[in-house]
């Protein structure tokens, strides 16, 4: 951070981002199958990435589930990724992180 002013001195943001993961670890020991564990990890990853991009997670997931069936091309699918979602309605009033 001495040479790059855009870096934060504190890593509190990173620690706060992984806290839900640490809290869920014990519960995830009881995933019935490896496919179930993979599905849980995918959902967790989408939700945390949405938070990191300033989106309200439940609105983002609703948006994706509503529009994913209409996405035929790779470019259309990429517009649904959290860092590409430019819809103001998905932006969270109180920023996460």
Q: Which pTM was predicted?
A: 0.64
Whole-angstrom Cα Rg for the chain = 16
CB of 87 within 8 A of CB of 56?
A: no
**Residue 50 CB-density burial (10 A; 0-12 exposed, 13-18 middle, 19+ buried):** buried
Model confidence pLDDT, tens digit, residues 45-81: 888 888 888 888 888 899 999 999 999 999 999 988 8
Helices in 32-85 by DSSP H: which ranges?
A: 34-52, 57-67, 74-78
Least confident of 18-27, 29-38, 42-51: 18-27
Closest CA relative to residue 55, chosen from 84, 75, 79, 76: 84
């Amino acid at each position: 951070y001495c040479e790059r002013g855009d870096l934060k001195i504190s890593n509190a943001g990173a620690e706060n981002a992984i806290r839900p993961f640490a809290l869920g670890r014990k519960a995830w020991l009881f995933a019935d199958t490896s496919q179930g564990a993979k599905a849980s990890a995918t959902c967790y990853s989408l939700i945390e990435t949405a938070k990191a991009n300033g989106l309200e997670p439940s609105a983002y997931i609703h948006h994706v589930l509503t529009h994913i069936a209409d996405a035929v091309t790779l470019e259309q699918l990429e517009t649904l990724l959290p860092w590409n979602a430019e819809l103001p309605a998905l932006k969270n009033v109180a920023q996460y992180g």
